[in-house]
Amino acid sequence: MAAIPTPLEGCFIIEPNVIPDERGYFMESYNEKRFEQETGLKVHFVQDNQSFSTRGVLRGLHYQTGEHAQAKLVRVLQGEVLDVAVDIRPGSPTYGEHVAVMLTAENKRQLFVPRGFAHGFLVVSETATFFYKCDNFYNKESEGGIRYNDPTIGIDWGMDASEFIISAKDTVLPNFENARPVW
């Protein structure tokens, strides 16, 4: 496993060591000790989540606030998604900036999204199974979100917005300026 830093402090692309052979492949998808060695971060995951979506489904941008803030390690088990992390940590030198990474079943990459970031993804394949680990339990009262098309953030989703399938809840999220503070 190798951790590749992104321009956003604490946010890493995780490149697995895939060992192929005539039967298929083997890879260690997560090792807490190795993760800490590669990133310098001590993270203990407590919850796994999985979703299945069709092409054009856009989920996000979501986060948890205060003591319920979550770090996530995300990956795609089947299909392809454009995965986006937005730094919403007040005082961060990259506050309001984002990183977008193509995560696919084929490239097996993962994205580590630290606490203090909003997260979302867009399914670009016909279907996708998305899996992620969280270092804190979900708390409904601590939900936060930012509109996917906020011009301040300026995410290029790489697909025409007329193709997006967005939940009613996500269509009414506030813009970046009016979003609930993460801390």
Instruction: Give me the pLDDT at residue 69, please.
Output: 98
- Among candidate residues 63, 98, 132, 148, the one labeled active-site is 132
Look at the chain and report how many structural domains it folds into: 1
> pTM of the predicted model, to two decimals?
0.96
Share of the chain above pLDDT 90, in %: 100
pLDDT band of residue 130 (cuts 50, 70, 90) is very high
Would residue 121 count as lying in a domain? yes
> Does the active-site annotation cover 98?
no
Distance of alpha carbon 114 from alpha carbon 16, whole angstroms: 19
Instruction: Give me the pLDDT at residue 17, please.
Output: 93
Share of the chain above pLDDT 70, in %: 100
- Among candidate residues 30, 62, 68, 95, the one labeled active-site is 62
Distance of alpha carbon 146 from alpha carbon 62, whole angstroms: 7
> Does the active-site annotation cover 132?
yes
In three-state secondary structure terms, 39 is: helix
Would residue 155 count as lying in a domain? yes
Q: What range does the domain containing 103 cover?
A: 44-178
CATH number at residue 124: 2.60.120.10
* pLDDT tens digits along 71-127: 999 999 999 999 999 999 999 999 999 999 999 999 999 999 999 999 999 999 999
Per DSSP, 135 falls in state: S
